[in-house]
Structure 1
Amino acid sequence: MEQPEITPLAQVEIPLIEEQEEENNETLVLFDESIHKLYTFFKYLGFNHTSLFYTSVSCFSFFTLSIIAPLLIIFYSYCSDCDQFQIRFFEIEILVFQALAAAVSLFCISHNLRKYGLKILLFVKLHYHHHLILDYVHKIHVFYRTLAMWMVICFILKTAREITRIVYLHDEPWWKSVVYFIATLLCWTYSTVLYLSGTGLFCLVGNLQVIHFEDYGKLFDKDLDVLFYIEEHMRLTYYLSKISHRFRIFVLLEFLVVTASQFMALLHTTGNKGVNFINAGDFVVLSIVQLVGITLCLNAAAKISHRAQSLGSITSRWHALATCNSNKSQLGVTTNGVLANPVGNISRAQSESDIDSTDYVPLPTNLQVTSHTSSYQRRQSFVTYMQANTGGFTMFGWIVDRHFINTLFFLESSLVFFVLGKTINIPLN
């Protein structure tokens, strides 16, 4: 029996399919390597609490480098005169809040990693689509760059403060001052990396969810069944509720620690005379570090909520275009029945950091909508469902969005003015 001849078209398609499969395999390997490196990074920092041995090593390292060693440095590197006693009192309070922030990050994130694993915690295993994997890898690289950038900036500030303290308060041999300087930077770096790594991981989770919501918005460009859109949205909201449940304690505790820390810093710097960079410089460094971390958390949470809430308007726009397309005599149709774009090109670039930006979804180009009443009713029910189920990142029922952040801003402003009113007295002549 003669073998069927392979047509030239088939000869071209087979190598293309093999090349595409090879490219997909390389992408999967790259993604797995990125996840493994990320897990190794958190493992070496002490977030791996999968066994009693790793938990013991992590707790010992934390209490040694974040509490015991800094306390010894504070008590043995200062004499008992008046000015340095004030510095010691300030640094003990700073150490308490610095250790609390690092402890919340360490134990909350390690609990989630031990219970769910990194892939499930990031919700990338369930979204294993080839066209999104490169975006996942890019966001992981952004996590490293963001962490490194802020660590370098804060490390420079901390180093400048310690050098200034040694120069102006030098009363011991230089070798002791150098030992205290290195030990202080080492302990501070460890606590700061723990804190910023935890907040950075939550920011990474938020950025990955933004990818999922943007990919969902692109589905409206395709001629798919309404039931498929509903099922995909239910899956996204389910994952979003899981993320809220797993990170709400972490975000809430970090916010309370940062608020208490800023309250004490403001109270001391405005209620004491003679405060300068030497005796209260650590308040500046601590405030910058903690504000960076909590800003990353709130930005990620608000970004998720914004993308989830914007799907309601995107769905309404899609429904309106599909309904208007059914009346071809008013819109005008091309010869092959494709909807003509009546508003032109309205695409615009949007920044990922701008949570107020409006998501743009391309106008459908392959809609084949019938004039049946049932089709309209299905779309209308879908729009009603989307508008009633906006969702977002929640903390015990409160959605963290722009309005929630505005409320926090006014509460924090009220606290600031209350402290200023109690500590700053302007004499009236």
Structure 2
Amino acid sequence: MEDERGSLLLPKNMEEHHPAHDRGTTELRNFRSYLRWVYVDHSNVCKAGLSWTVFFTLAFVVPTLSHFLLDCPTCDRDHSRPYHIPVQISLSVFAALSFISISSWDRRYGFRKFLFLDKLGDESLKIQRGYSEQMQGTMKLIMRWGLPCFIAECAYKIWWYVSGASQIPHYGSIYVSSIILCTLDLCSWLYRTSIFFLVCVLFRLICYLQILRLDEFARVFQRETEVGSILLEHLRMRRNLRIISHRFRGFILASLLLVTASQLIFLLMVTKPHADVDILKAGELALVSITLVSGLLILLRGATKITHKAHSITGLAAKWHICATINSFDNIEGETPTTAHAISAQAIATNISWGSSDDDEVGDEEDDLDNTKLLLPIYTQTISFHKRQALVTYLENNRAGITVFGFMLDRTWLHSIFGIQLALCLWLLNKTVGV
């Protein structure tokens, strides 16, 4: 699109005039190149038609032709493909879900608005620099997750075509036919997995921007700030998280249900009586399972991390409130505190800590906003007790985070998902293997 909403493929003239792109031009160019590589371009009717054509060809036409053209009932056991159909269906379904989601987001919002780049120029320099660095790391994350799976898939396909050249049906020259069909198979597999990983890492990238904003927002408790301005900033953060939740809730829920269903079906196929399972037959099944579960983990980890960070704000505000209250009771006699006394009281209040002083026992997963040390300046003379109490009460009853149709994506929710999936897995094993 050429209007203000733009396209997922951001035009170069927009990049040059956007303030946040002065340090992130390379990262945005990499994103644009990657999107063109998976061919998600809806900037005009012709390119949109070509994108949909490539999608249908690689997501549905090539897997269908591969199944029927390479059907080999007379092949030996090593070259039979008993799990080819569920593997192809799973990849095609997730590719369709991802492509339709990206197309919908592109049509409604555009690249700049979808990634919150249109408002990034209003943020601090630290947030802009951190977001730019995360965009560069996002491209590395795609390669880190996708490249090993693609290498394994290439090794399997090349072995299958080379070792079974005398058995696999061919059309014309055996070498030309095998090379063309193998290339199409690999391109189809890479396209479908790449577009699924793309949506997952885009969600992770957007969540990281909000985490940077939450870290910046937490600094309001370290300076003299009006409660009204704190409230307005928190309302803005909650609104951004609601927008993200609304945009991704369908994709997250569909991914969770489809991944769970596909894994249960795979488990049923490999554990049923007389199932023919070995690394040569079920290796591709295991590979697609790793791919789909990895993408789901990226989604859930990004959602729970930002939800935990948003909930930590409430704990931080409570610490700020109790430190201020303790400091105010130190001066309860009504005497005007001297400068030395005020500094001493503030130093005592702001260095309270509980538990062991050994930092090694804390662990690497402790959040900076949710630790046992109170290192917060106290401003009891400018912010009254009632205002502080009202702010803490508001934060306790209006917690922000990523939600899926009203359900907060936090660690408790993940525990519930794990319990349900474990129960389904054990039930299925009881039906197929027995106790």
**For each residue in 1:187-225, what CA deviation from the matched residue of structure 2 results, as whole angstroms up to 9, or x when unmatched?**
111111111111111111111111111111122111110
2:47 paired residue number: 54
Q: How big is the shift at 1:39?
A: 4.2
TM-score, normalising length: structure 1: 0.84
Give yes or no for the alignment of 1:363 onto 2:370: no
Structure 1: 5+ residue runs without aligned partners? 1-24
Partner residue, 1:133: 128
CA 1:201–1:376: 2 relative to 1, 3 Å = same
Structure 2 runs not aligned, ≥5 long? 1-17, 169-173
Q: Does 1:69 align with 2:85?
A: no
1:393 has 2:395 as partner:
no
The offset of 1:291, in angstroms, is: 0.5
> In 2, distance between residues paired with 1:359 and 1:266?
40
Q: Secondary structure at the match of 1:340?
A: helix
Q: Distance in 2 between matches of 1:355 and 1:265?
A: 37
Residue 29 (str. 1) matches residue 4 (str. 2)? no
User: 1:267, 1:423 within 8 Å by CA — same for their partners in 2?
Assistant: yes
Do the aligned residues in 1 keep the contact of 2:200 with 2:298 (CA within 8 Å)? yes
Match of 1:340 in 2: 347
RMSD: 3.1
Question: Does the CA contact (< 8 Å) of 1:98 and 1:286 recur in 2?
Answer: yes
Q: Which amino acid aligns with 2:95?
A: A
Counterpart selection for 2:295 from 284, 287, 293: 293
Matches within 5 A, 1:32-181: 34-35=27-28, 37-81=30-74, 87-127=80-120, 128-129=122-123, 130-166=125-161, 168-170=163-165, 171-172=167-168, 173-181=174-182
* Partner deviation per Cα, 1:140-180 (whole Å, 9 max, x = no partner): 11211110111111112212322343355342544533333
TM-superposed CA distance for 1:342, in Å, is 4.4
Q: Which amino acid aligns with 1:359?
A: D
Alignment size in residue pairs: 398
CA contact (8 A) 1:165 1:278 kept: no
CA apart distance, 1:277: 1.9
SS in 1 for 2:177: helix
Quote the sequence identity (%): 27
Give the letter aligned to residue 108 of structure 1.
S
Q: Which AA in structure 2 matches 1:363?
A: L
Query: Which residue identity is paired with 1:181?
Result: C
Q: Which deviates the most, 99-108 or 343-352?
A: 343-352
Equivalent position SS for 2:275: coil
How many angstroms does 1:357 deviate by? 7.4
The CA deviation string for residues 324-376 of structure 1, in whole angstroms up to 9 with x for no partner, is 2224559x9863944214464969799999487763586233x4422x8x811
Report the residue type matching 2:347 in the other structure: A
**Counterpart residue number, 2:312:** 310
Q: d(CA) in 2 for partners of 1:86 and 1:157? A: 17
Task: Report which stretch shifted further, 402-411 or 252-261.
Answer: 252-261
Cα distance change on mapping 1:356 and 1:378 into 2, 3 Å: closer
> 1:419 deviation in Å?
1.7
The answer to whether the 8 A contact 2:350-2:374 is kept is no
Q: 1:276 maps to what in 2? A: 278
Q: Secondary structure at the match of 1:274?
A: coil
Read off the aligned partner of 1:302 and give its amino acid letter: T
> Given the superposition, is the C-alpha separation of residues 200 and 353 from structure 1 closer, same or farther in structure 2, using an over 3 Å criterion?
farther
1:381 aligned partner, one-letter code: A
Q: Distance in 1 between the 2:365 and 2:176 partners?
A: 49
1:7 corresponds to? none
Distance change in 2, residues 1:152/1:64 (3 Å): same
Q: Name the counterpart of 1:256.
A: 257
- The answer to whether structure 1 residue 413 and structure 2 residue 422 are counterparts is yes
Query: For residue 216 of structure 1, what is the aligned residue in structure 2?
Result: 217
Closer, same or farther: CA 261–143 of 1 in aligned 2, 3 Å = same
Residue 259 (structure 1) shift: 1.4
8 Å contact 1:106–1:194 — kept in the other structure? yes
- Counterpart of 1:391, as a letter, is A
Pairwise CA distance, 1:276 = 1.3
- Residue in 1 that maps onto 2:242: 241
